[in-house]
Amino acid sequence: MKRLNTILKITAAAVFACSLLASCAEEGPTVAKAVLGDVSHMTFAAENPAAQTVTVYSDGDWHTTAPSWITVDPATGNGTTIVTVSASENIDAGGMLEPRKDTLIIGGNTLASRLIIIVSQEGDAYRNAEHLTLDKVAALADGKSFILDEANVVALTSAGFVLNTGTTNVYAQSVQEVKIGDKVSIKGIKGRVNSLPAITQVDELKVLSSRDYTYPEAIVLNDVIASYKADAIEYVTVSGVVSGGNLTLTIDDVDYSIRQVDAPADLKLSSLNGHKATVTGYSCGILGDRLFGIFITELKDNGLDQLIYFEDDFEWFAPWTDGNASIPDDVAANSVGSSPNIFTTAALKDLLTEFQSRGYGYIWGWKEQEWSDGTPDNGNKQTMYLQKNYLKFGKTSYNSGIILPALAKINDTDDIDLNFDWCWCMTGASKPDIMTLTITVSGGGVFENGTEISDEITSSQPTEDDLTKLEWQHAQVRIKGATPTTKVTIRPTNNDPSISSTRKQNRWYLDNIKVLPAEGSTPGGGDDPNEVKLPVEWSIQTDANNFNETWPLANGSATEEGVSGYIASVTGTGTIWYNNEAGNAADLASGKKKTKLDIQALNPRVTGAWPGDYCQFKVPGVVSKGKKVRITFETRTSATNPKYWKLIYLDGNEWKAAAEIKTDKVEGTDVEYTHAMNADGATNVKVDATVTYSVKTENVVFRFVCQSAMGAGGDMLTAPNGGTWRLAVTDISTTEWQPRIQWGE
């Protein structure tokens, strides 16, 4: 700021001196033709506001125009003057008045000779704010303050929440913590998000009460999306395929997309890429051509639609490109604009960090040198530029390309198809870069030509004249025998621009990368001869003879699967095994000696379950990649046994959630779970989950893991007690909810 003030003073002095020389030839009074100052904004306290100063530089006489609550001393002057600006108090007998803002003008007689200072004063934005219902808030002018007496929280996002009363829904941007079902009051400021009415500032929030919230009947977007206006926040549901982090659907040969906005940590649509899914939540406007936004409240995985090893449409660039007029879209505009270099633009430092953290690499070539991996030391060779959610590579005399992240989702070796969109660049005179692309692989795999270097990727345009319009080209190449360590590089064929183009440049654009199992191939090499045999079923509450010797285990942890604490299946081959090592250790530490496994009313039960304990369901054999497996069973706890449990499954060597992850706050700590036990011990919880295996996996293994010492009755437990967890079936006249593992649909 000191440097800025110095510059202003020097500039003002120069202007003043030049004007003074000109005025020497004239006689009579001078009116300022140039007025500058070292301050452009002033903010005053509401009570006992301190005076502030501005140094005015002018080449003649000036005067001031000020709002009634601002006093200026002196009010007129000539040349360089220190001016004192004071504000009256913004209070009355009732306290602070509303904040106020106006302009102070110091200048001559023309618009060009004015110094404009924005003057603001603090106050109580809600002094005269109306108490409004939610529908009145939605109709309020933007920027107006209000007091909302009550509304229901019906959806959560990473940046706020959706409020509802009656048929009105409004989004509130806020970091304050609330839960679905909370009834809240708010002091806030009305604004807009995605062109829809919203609360863009929450200054005070109170939770008045909490209860379960019953959602209304959802609008099925699949039925109405062709005419859906999305001009209000509405409760909707839609089904489609998740691709590139968006839910896509085709109606009457027209493609539509649903994009999640402000995704909460436990409901990320992008986690289901390649899967069919149903999302339910609140529509939140139109984000682009046939692109709708949604705040998700429920996300259902409907199974694998297409196995995808890798996919990136670069929509994650949005935080750096949305609303940024300096980021061009050359291909759409058919015109080459100036785009920022990701390597050298300070504002894109975080984007570069994210790019590298996702496993991407960079390759460059220059004047007949060999292609080099990694970031070059010479800034001239760092030629990767940001476009509207895609990339541009290269500049005159410097080439560059991209190295994709390793294809870690591949199990063993698979044949794959690499797909992407690309386009050549052209000069301002519409002279195209005559170039081709080459793909290389490392870490495993060869192209159909039997080498690690592909045949050249050419455009579909036959002549140079056809290249004078930028147009996306789709490319697909097959790689045989790719592995989890395979890395793919996409680059211009030649690293010397003078070879491939008489105009000495190989500039190009890249978007929409997708790696799939090769068309016509069976991922993982087809069904394994050792494939698991399903269904596998267990029987409880009908006859305890099949587990009355293997389940009971008193005061000790199950140390060997299949020896103690387990139930054998009655159909197929499988075991249910309870591991109470955590509970037993906590029990021994407390000295209460409560933990045990026993049978009560033909229910296999556990006394003293504790965080870390788990019930394991296992079927031996191999499950192939892409297969879907379903598990169903019923369970319940007493009020004095842990409430939160998480169903997980083994996918390759990684434990993954087998059902929707939820989060609750327990004594200040977030607890993740998939199922919450009811406080009423007589009420069973039905567990029904279908998973899709991303890799070939030895054995089908599910675990139902105790997550917290919070009791189902709402009290925090300090040690294992006489409370129980058990497997139980509500209706034993049917086998529907007997524990079962079967193939999923």
CATH of the domain at 95: 2.60.40.10
The CATH number of the domain where 280 resides is what?
A: 2.40.50.140
Residues 467 and 335 in one domain: yes
pLDDT of residue 379: 67
Question: Of the candidates 84, 100, 121, which is a domain's last residue?
Answer: 121
pLDDT of residue 271: 80
pTM, rounded to two decimals: 0.50
Residue 150 CA to residue 135 CA, distance in Å, equals 12
Give the mean model confidence (pLDDT) for residues 1-9: 41
Q: What is the pLDDT of residues 505-562, one digit of tens each?
A: 899 999 999 998 887 554 444 445 678 889 999 988 876 666 777 888 755 444 444 4
Share of the chain above pLDDT 70, in %: 90
The answer to whether residue 529 sits within a structural domain is no
Residue 223: CB atoms within 10 Å: 11
Helix (H), strand (E) at residue 655:
strand 654-657
Q: Among 197, 135, 139, which residue's Cα sits nearest to residue 164?
A: 135
Residues 409 and 513 in one domain: yes
pLDDT of residue 679: 57
3-state helix, strand, coil in the chain (%, to 5): 10, 45, 45
The CATH number of the domain where 187 resides is what?
A: 2.40.50.200
The mean pLDDT of the chain is 87
Q: Contact 722/639 with Cβ under 8 angstroms?
A: no
Residues 385 and 500 in one domain: yes
Q: Please state the three-class secondary structure of 123-180 as a single string.
A: CCCCCCCCEECHHHHHHCCCCCEEEEEEEEEEEECCCEEEEEECCEEEEEECCCCCCC
Give the mean model confidence (pLDDT) for residues 235-245: 91
| Strand pairing category for 399-403 and 361-365 | antiparallel
Give the mean model confidence (pLDDT) for residues 200-222: 94
Q: What is the number of domains present in the chain?
A: 5
The answer to whether residue 528 sits within a structural domain is no
Q: Among 311, 554, 494, which residue's Cα sits nearest to residue 418?
A: 311
Residues 503 and 392 in one domain: yes
Give the mean model confidence (pLDDT) for residues 293-313: 85
Radius of gyration (C-alpha) of the chain in whole angstroms: 34
Q: Per mean pLDDT, which of 128-132, 320-324, 592-596 is the most reliable? A: 128-132
Instruction: State phi, psi for 20 to the nearest 5 degrees.
Output: -65, -45
Residues 588 and 683 in one domain: yes
Q: Per mean pLDDT, which of 1-5, 27-31, 99-103 is the most reliable? A: 99-103
Higher pLDDT, 291 or 305: 291
Provide the 8-state DSSP code for 5: H
Reported confidence tier of residue 742, pLDDT bands at 50, 70, 90:
very high
The answer to whether residue 312 sits within a structural domain is no
Q: Which two tokens stand for residue 479?
A: 């790689």
Q: Which two tokens stand for residue 716?
A: 């925090």
Reported confidence tier of residue 218, pLDDT bands at 50, 70, 90:
very high
380 pLDDT more than 50: yes
The answer to whether residue 253 sits within a structural domain is yes
Provide the 8-state DSSP code for 307: -
pLDDT of residue 26: 40
The answer to whether residue 588 sits within a structural domain is yes
Reported confidence tier of residue 2, pLDDT bands at 50, 70, 90:
very low
3-state DSSP call for residue 715?
coil
Q: What is the dihedral of CA 28, 29, 30, 36, to 10 degrees?
A: 160
Residues 201 and 227 in one domain: no
Higher pLDDT, 524 or 741: 741
pLDDT of residue 163: 98
Structural domain containing residue 339: 327-523
pLDDT of residue 202: 96
Q: What is the pLDDT of residues 247-277, one digit of tens each?
A: 999 888 899 999 999 988 788 888 888 788 8
73 pLDDT more than 50: yes
Reported confidence tier of residue 563, pLDDT bands at 50, 70, 90:
very low
Q: Contact 398/364 with Cβ under 8 angstroms?
A: yes
Residues 612 and 703 in one domain: yes
